[in-house]
Amino acid sequence: MKLPNGPQTPGLVQMLQWVFSPMSFMEACTKRYGDIFTLQLSRPVVFVSNPAAMQQMLTSDTKEFEAPSDWNTPFEPMLGKNSVITLSGKAHQRQRQLMMPSFHGDRMRTYGQVIGDITEEISSQWQIDKPFSARSAMQAITMRVIMQAVFGLYEGSRAQELEEVLSLMLDEGGQSPARALILYFPALQRDLGPLTPWGKFLRRRERVNQMLYAEIRERREQPDSSRTDVLSLLMAAKDEANQPMTDQELRDELMTLLVAGHETTATALTWALYWIHKLPGVREKLLEELDTLGDNPDPSTIFKLPYLNAVCCETLRIYPVAMLTFTRVVRTPVSLSGHELEPGTLVMGSIYLTHQREDLYPQPKQFNPERFLKRQFSAYEYLPFGGGVRRCIGMAFAQFEMKVVLATILSRWELALVDDGDVRPKRRGMVSGPNRSIQIVVKGQRAQKSKILESIAG
Ligand code: HEM
């Protein structure tokens, strides 16, 4: 079988380039081989970025393409075998159907209150003229949002310990390229004692599991139908055969939502704060729009603000946190971008390359929210949340969270970057993020503070 062209260097060299500098590697390949090429990773993988190929691959999912049963194994140590991310076929479909109702648009209003309260609480600890890391601050917010809106844990020693252990586990579990290498090569996953990275990870995971199972057991013993958090909704959900999720499934999906939703949203918010404060014109326009909000803006009014929406869209376009869609495997012989692919071929959609296309986004390296006001992009030209049967379950939640957090912070605080030098993206575990710390300093409270905060906080 002839695969699309790609680099001829040894597989190990390609794997290292892929792990350590995925974005420049993909860009160099697309320049040389066009918008479909093959990389030799642990197996050959075909990369696509043309919107038509993206559409074909994502929408003919389950016919011509499907998620391979073994490719998502790097996620398994953290998420388990029952996660919607590690499953494929019918089992994947079942989990998705059980999970989707918790993330429907109409549930966002409830979560909006929680997100506004948490942002207010955490940002109220910032001190004037004392710099802080944008990333740590955004991680603190998105972690607390998951703890409350998803796990339903508001206070108490379990909430506190779980938040601490999970933060450590996520921070050490997958941020560096070297850690990503451990995830790609299961043979490196050896427990060499409590002080070694993998040993530490295993012990923390054990403690997290104990706490999650205890929480699930207690909720089963004392059901409370007034709860609105995702865990309670998942516990009440039934599949087509009227079967609820098992404890193991619930544990795996909680970890999935945490891993998929915490770091991604925190990184997107960090980038947004960087661009807004790097480009004074963008900040001014945004503040002008936020100041037009009346006295009692509903979180859903914030959600509809056009310029805030354009800023969030451009943030996720220029450096998409998820560089790629999940892998798909060819099921039946298929022609993709003029190449005949045989069953078994692995294909990945490069969201990063699609978002960097000159034909769609002139001067793609420039941050320009106006492009989203001037033009509507199709679901395969702009796809920070992927597409098809694996499209991000938390898409509406993440968009809502980004907007409410930014509106809350920007309406209250006068912020500035400590260093407005350029920041570039780099791999952070399985996703991408800024290549250096972005420090922010509070200059003061905004004089023209809108009433947004009180209304969100109810
Ligand atoms: C800015 C934030 C986020 C970005 C950029 C993002 C992006 C993505 C992408 C690209 C995929 C893969 C889609 C595909 O292969 O077609 C995905 C899957 C997923 N995301 Fe998100 N995501 C974000 C936030 C969230 C949040 C907040 C949650 C939940 C609380 C979440 C839950 C999930 C889940 C469960 C999947 C797996 C879906 C499946 O396999 O069926 N994500 N996300």
pLDDT for 32-60, tens place per residue?
A: 999 999 999 989 999 999 999 999 999 87
Q: Are 25 and 17 in contact (CB under 8 A)?
A: yes
pLDDT of residue 61: 62
Q: Report CA(166)–ligand 1 centroid distance (Å).
A: 19
Q: Kindly report the backbone phi and psi dihedral angles of residue 47, in degrees, each rounded to the nearest multiple of 5, phi listed first.
A: -105, 135
Cα separation, 160 vs 157, whole angstroms: 5
Structure token digits, residue 48? 């696509």
Q: List the pLDDT tens digit at each of the 458 positions of the chain.
A: 689 999 999 999 999 999 899 999 999 999 999 999 999 998 999 999 999 999 999 987 667 887 776 666 777 888 999 999 989 888 999 999 999 999 988 888 889 989 999 999 999 999 999 999 999 999 999 999 999 999 999 888 999 999 999 988 887 655 555 666 666 667 777 777 887 778 888 999 999 999 999 999 999 999 898 899 999 999 999 999 999 999 999 999 999 999 899 999 999 999 999 999 999 999 999 999 999 986 667 888 999 999 999 999 999 999 999 999 988 999 999 999 999 999 999 999 999 999 999 999 999 999 999 999 999 999 999 999 999 989 999 999 999 999 999 999 999 999 999 999 999 999 987 789 999 999 999 999 986 554 555 555 54
pLDDT of residue 12: 93
Q: Are 429 and 180 in contact (CB under 8 A)?
A: yes
Ligand 1 atom index nearest CA of 87:
40
Residue 245 carries which side chain, given as an amino acid letter?
M
Mutate which of 82, 86, 313, 392 for ligand 1? The one with the most ligand atoms within 8 Å of its CB, which is 392
Q: Are 301 and 308 in contact (CB under 8 A)?
A: no
Structure token digits, residue 280? 């004074």
pLDDT of residue 450: 45
List the helix and strand counts (H, then E) for the chain.
19, 12
Q: 320 Cβ partners below 8 Å, 6+ apart?
A: 351, 352, 355, 384, 432
Query: Which residues pair with residue 428 across a beta bridge?
Result: 431
Ligand 1 atom index nearest CA of 96:
41
pLDDT of residue 179: 62
Q: Are 314 and 306 in contact (CB under 8 A)?
A: no
Ligand 1 atom index nearest CA of 402:
1
Q: Report CA(87)–ligand 1 centroid distance (Å).
A: 14
Q: Are 84 and 90 in contact (CB under 8 A)?
A: no
Query: Which residues pair with residue 324 across a beta bridge?
Result: 350
pLDDT of residue 375: 96
What Cα–Cα distance (Å) separates residue 81 from each residue in 88, 104, 132, 181, 202? Answer: 11, 25, 38, 20, 16
DSSP string, 76-100: HHHH-TT-TTT--HHHHHHHHHHHG
Other Cβ atoms less than 10 A from the Cβ of 201: the count is: 21
pLDDT of residue 34: 96
Cα separation, 214 vs 8, whole angstroms: 52
Q: Report CA(260)–ligand 1 centroid distance (Å).
A: 6
Query: Which residues pair with residue 415 across a beta bridge?
Result: 442
Q: Report CA(7)–ligand 1 centroid distance (Å).
A: 30
**Beta strand extents in 132-266 (DSSP E only):** 132-133
Cα separation, 253 vs 186, whole angstroms: 22
Nearest CA to ligand 1 atom 3: 264
Structure token digits, residue 424? 């570039």
Cα separation, 1 vs 342, whole angstroms: 7
Nearest CA to ligand 1 atom 24: 261
Query: Which residues pair with residue 47 across a beta bridge?
Result: 37, 348
> What region does 72 belong to: left with phi over 0, alpha with psi -120 to 50, or beta?
alpha
Q: Are 413 and 446 in contact (CB under 8 A)?
A: yes
Q: Kindly report the backbone phi and psi dihedral angles of residue 433, in degrees, each rounded to the nearest multiple of 5, phi listed first.
A: -165, 180
Mutate which of 385, 397, 399, 430 for ligand 1? The one with the most ligand atoms within 8 Å of its CB, which is 385
- Which among 198, 181, 187, 190 is positioned nearest to 12, based on CA atoms? 181
Cα separation, 333 vs 337, whole angstroms: 13
pLDDT of residue 193: 80
Q: Report CA(390)–ligand 1 centroid distance (Å).
A: 8
Q: Any residues with Cβ below 6 Å from ligand 1, and which?
A: 84-85, 96, 256-257, 260-261, 264-265, 268, 316, 321-322, 325-326, 384-388, 390-394, 397-398
Ligand 1 atom index nearest CA of 92:
41
Q: Which domains does the chain have, with CATH numbers?
A: 11-456 (1.10.630.10)
Ligand 1 atom index nearest CA of 267:
1
Ligand 1 atom index nearest CA of 390:
41
Which residues contribute to the annotated binding site for heme? 392
Q: Report CA(9)–ligand 1 centroid distance (Å).
A: 33
Q: Report CA(291)–ligand 1 centroid distance (Å).
A: 32
ipTM comes to: 0.99
Q: Report CA(85)–ligand 1 centroid distance (Å).
A: 9
